[in-house]
Amino acid sequence: MTSNISSSYDYFKIIDDTVVDSISKQANGDKQFVSMLFESFIAEGNETLIMIETALKNNDYKTIGEVVHALKGLAGTMGVSQVFELCKDIDAALKQSNINEAMRLLPLLKLKYQVANDLITTNYLQA
């Protein structure tokens, strides 16, 4: 079942190059600045996943909704499309009190975040 869910999100690029290009243009081509933004995304994303795990243990769906919503905004700003789309769907499910749907998507969010994290580390972070 996860493969069907996953394939529906695979339609979206992991990282939307047009968004990254736009960020780079706004930063006057400063690759170090873009790298710093992606470092912040990774740090906040890692923190968000820890917060989600803690909230899950406590059945604290309000906190899950809040942190997923924040990650959605960050992912959208940085062009991390698959993470953005998953966050959008989890956020919508929680707002509709569809806890089962949100919980079904959370493992995929973790997976897609890790894939994005690896891609960012390889392609956008300066050594």
pLDDT at site 2: 46
pLDDT at site 37: 95
Residue type, 24: S
Segment 14-65, tens digit of pLDDT = 999 999 999 999 999 999 999 999 999 999 999 999 999 999 999 999 999 9
Report the predicted TM-score, pTM, of the whole model to 2 decimal places: 0.88
CA distance 51 to 6: 23
Residue written as token pair 């906190």? 63
Segment 53-109, tens digit of pLDDT = 999 999 999 999 999 999 999 999 999 999 999 999 999 999 999 999 999 999 999
Domains annotated on the chain, with CATH: 2-123 (1.20.120.160)
Residue 127 has pLDDT above 90, yes or no: no
Q: Higher confidence at residue 55 or residue 1?
A: 55
Instruction: Give the H or E element holding residue 9.
Output: helix 2-10
DSSP label at 15?
S
